[in-house]
Amino acid sequence: MNKYLLVFLLIFAVTNIISQSKGYLVIIGGVHTQETSKKFIELAGGDNARIIIIPNAGSNPVYNSELHKKEFEELGAKADYLLFTRETADADSNLKKMDWANAVYFLGGDQSDLTRDMLGTKLLQKVYDIYNDGGVIGGSSAGAAVQSEIMITGNELLNKDSSLAFVSIQKGNIETAKGFGFIKSAIIDQHFLKRKRHNRLITLMCEHPNLLGIAIDEATAIVVNPDDTFEVVGSNQVLVYDPTEAKNIREDKHGNLGITGMKIHLLISGDKFDLKTKQVIK
């Protein structure tokens, strides 16, 4: 009897794992628009969307949460938000709200504040559960940067002159930290074209040549599907840096980095890309 019970439990566990499927990521490069909000809500079920807003990256969390809540509700979704610190993240009231949700949206600000308050918490595990059960995870600016496993913090380690941000491509200059890891095969950067952030992502491509770099501009998003393809949505562009077949990554005596044969794809709205094959989908 015990043997049969064990077999049944194993079958049940495997069936439960198979029944789960990754959901969608809506990663916005900053300055979210009604177009990106509509796409987020559509993927979350339209009128059945139940969105939790997490404002910990930014200042004035109540005001910004209320603003986004109103916008989501005007577009037909149901929405609520959480106010918490690292110490209160796992409060029963927060976890109960997460059980209600089928989508989570991270507001902009400082991505390091998000990881400070959420890494290692039951609350973040609830976010993973929503995603792994077919839900939608979205975010803009800091809420985009935090979604890759290697997260750009926005700080430089060598250049101390804040009036000359990211003016070099030097080894050890770009600070990174552990992100939430919804994207493991690439590093996400945001506000990319508007703020001319090429140098910092090229630096990281030289230092992490096994990963892609996905650079998303403002008012633009990538929608990452469960099959690890994504589509560009919005008014501007997305660049994909691919150093995975590059050669001769090198450094001179000044710490300047060099790389040979790195690919760059410049994508516009409607373009699609396969993260597994590293190819634009025609």
235, part of any domain? yes
Within-domain flag for 277: yes
Model pTM?
Answer: 0.91
Rg, the chain, Cα only: 20
Alpha-carbon gap, residue 61 to 47, rounded angstroms: 25
List phi, psi (to 5°) of 99.
-65, -30
Residue 16 lies in a domain: no
Question: 162 is written with which tokens?
Answer: 């804040």
Q: Is residue 10 a part of any domain in this protein?
A: no
Does residue 1 belong to any structural domain of this protein?
Answer: no
The Cβ of residue 7 has, within 10 Å, a number of other Cβ atoms equal to 10
Assess if residue 18 is contained within a domain.
no
Count how many domains the chain has.
Answer: 1
- Which pLDDT score, from 0 to 100, does residue 2 have? 56
The CA-to-CA distance between both ends of the chain, in Å, stands at 55
Q: Give the CA distances from residue 180 to residues 107, 273, 282, in Å, rounded to whole numbers and listed in that order.
A: 14, 22, 30
Residue 229: CB atoms within 10 A of its CB come to 17
> What's the CATH number where 72 sits?
3.40.50.880
State the residue for tokens 């040979």: 260
3-class secondary-structure state, position 48: helix
Number of Cα atoms under 13 Å in the Cβ half of residue 85:
1
- State residue 4's pLDDT score: 52
Sheet holding 103-106, edge to edge: 78-81, 50-54, 103-106, 136-140, 24-28, 220-224, 229-234, 272-274, 279-281
Residue 71 within a domain? yes
- Look at the block and give the residue holding tokens 């989501």: 72
In a domain, 2, yes or no: no
Q: What is the pLDDT of residue 89?
A: 98
Residues spanned by the domain of 120: 23-281
- Dump pLDDT digits (tens) for 3-26: 554 544 444 444 444 345 799 999
pLDDT at 94: 98
The parts of the chain modelled with pLDDT lower than 70 are: 1-20
Task: Count CA within 13 A, CB hemisphere, residue 46.
Answer: 1
Contact of 24 with 226, CB cutoff 8 Å: yes
Could you tell me whether strands 247-251 and 150-156 are parallel, antiparallel, or unpaired per DSSP bridges? unpaired
Residues 220, 34: Cα–Cα separation, whole Å: 11
pLDDT for the residue numbered 182: 98
pLDDT at position 8, please? 45
